[in-house]
């Protein structure tokens, strides 16, 4: 088995108390709730090609842009970036040369990653074995902003626990659930006005999947018990046994600790109940 698997599983099974940045915390985030491999790991007929874990792939190819998730192993250009430069690219979407990384990287969410967590993620990425893979370059036929906001100075780590506040951190900056599960407007996900109301359509080899309403409205999760929500989030299975579609990173979310999963569900229950977007 690969080194990342041992680290990721150990971190997943442990009840981690967030203190200083650590390799274990980085492994848990990257290979668990952050689900970085959902975009950055090449796909084969049977799913992610784990021998090429995080080595980059084409994510989306449409009229607006051709988005390529970069190779994050030490065989790529990030090997020459400093830790601070890599952390800024993750959290702010700005490379060392000043160029801006485009969608679908969820920078509106990643800007909220704590200093300790983004440092832990960088620590883990530095341990990845080098995988020779050139997934190509992204091409954007839409204008990109000069930046996604002012420079991020510092973000304090949230207090861990089965709380609404920590669930908001996990479902927002870490797993960016709220970006995918909010409808898309002209300026991006409508997280200010329609947070969690669903409606965003994803096109892929599976066809078209539409992000569900995850607010506690009758159109959303009001009718589901906590254990049913947990199965949907981590296994992609509805209460009636029917499978859910990609691109939800079920395999990564299944590595969340029980407390973290409970915190996310608690947070979802706290959202404003919104109907499906018309």
Q: Which pLDDT band, with edges at 50, 70 and 90, does 207 fall under? A: confident
* Domain spans in the chain, listed from the N-terminal domain onward: 3-140, 164-270
- Architecture of the structural domain at 164-270: Orthogonal Bundle (1.10)
- pLDDT at 2 (0 to 100): 38
Averaged pLDDT for residues 191-215? 91
Q: What average pLDDT does the segment 150-165 reach?
A: 97
Q: Each residue of 13-40: pLDDT tens digit?
A: 343 444 689 999 999 999 999 999 999 9
Q: How confident is the prediction for the chain on average, in pLDDT?
A: 92
Say what the pLDDT of residue 8 is: 43
pLDDT for 19 equals: 61
Tens of pLDDT, residue by residue over 34-59, are 999 999 999 998 889 999 999 999 99
Of the two residues 164 and 14, the one the predictor is more confident about is 164
3-state secondary structure the chain: CCHHHHHHHHHHHCCCCCCCCCHHHHHHHHHCCCCCHHHHCCEECCEECHHHCCCCEEEEECCCEEEEECCCCCCCHHHHCCHHHHHHHHHHCECCCCCECCCCCCHHHHCCCCHHHHHHHHHHHCCCCCCCCCCCCCEECCCCCCCCCCCCCCCCCCCCCCCHHHHHHHHHHHCCHHHHCCCEECCEECCCCCCCCCCCEEEECCEEEECCCCCCCCCCCCCCCHHHHHHHHHHCECCCCCECCCCCCHHHHCCCCHHHHHHHHHHHHHCCCCCCCC
If you average pLDDT over residues 197-203, what whole number do you get? 90
**What local confidence, expressed as pLDDT, does residue 202 receive?**
87
């Amino acid at each position: 088995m690969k080194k990342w698997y041992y680290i990721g599983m150990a971190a997943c099974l442990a009840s981690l108390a967030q203190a200083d940045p650590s390799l274990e915390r980085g492994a848990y985030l990257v290979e668990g709730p952050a689900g970085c491999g959902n975009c950055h790991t090449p796909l084969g007929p049977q799913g992610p090609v784990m021998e090429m874990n995080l080595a980059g792939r084409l994510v989306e190819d449409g009229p607006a842009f051709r988005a390529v998730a970069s190779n994050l192993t030490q065989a790529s250009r990030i090997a020459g970036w400093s830790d601070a430069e890599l952390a800024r690219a993750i959290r702010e979407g700005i490379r060392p040369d000043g160029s801006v990384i485009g969608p679908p990287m969820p920078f509106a969410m990643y800007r909220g990653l704590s200093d300790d967590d983004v440092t832990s993620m960088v620590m883990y990425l530095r341990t990845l074995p080098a995988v020779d893979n050139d997934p190509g370059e992204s091409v954007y036929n839409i204008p990109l902003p000069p930046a996604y906001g002012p420079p991020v100075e510092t973000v304090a780590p949230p207090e861990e626990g089965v709380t609404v506040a920590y669930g908001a951190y996990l479902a927002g900056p870490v797993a960016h659930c709220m970006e995918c599960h909010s409808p898309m407007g002209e300026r991006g996900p409508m997280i200010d006005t329609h947070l969690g109301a669903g409606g965003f359509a994803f096109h892929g080899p599976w066809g078209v999947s539409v992000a569900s309403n995850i607010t506690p409205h009758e159109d959303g999760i009001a009718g589901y018990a906590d254990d049913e929500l947990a199965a949907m989030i981590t296994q992609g299975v509805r209460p009636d046994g029917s499978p859910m579609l990609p691109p939800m990173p079920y395999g990564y979310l299944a590595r969340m600790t029980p407390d973290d999963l409970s915190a996310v569900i608690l947070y979802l229950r706290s959202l404003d109940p919104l109907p499906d977007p018309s």
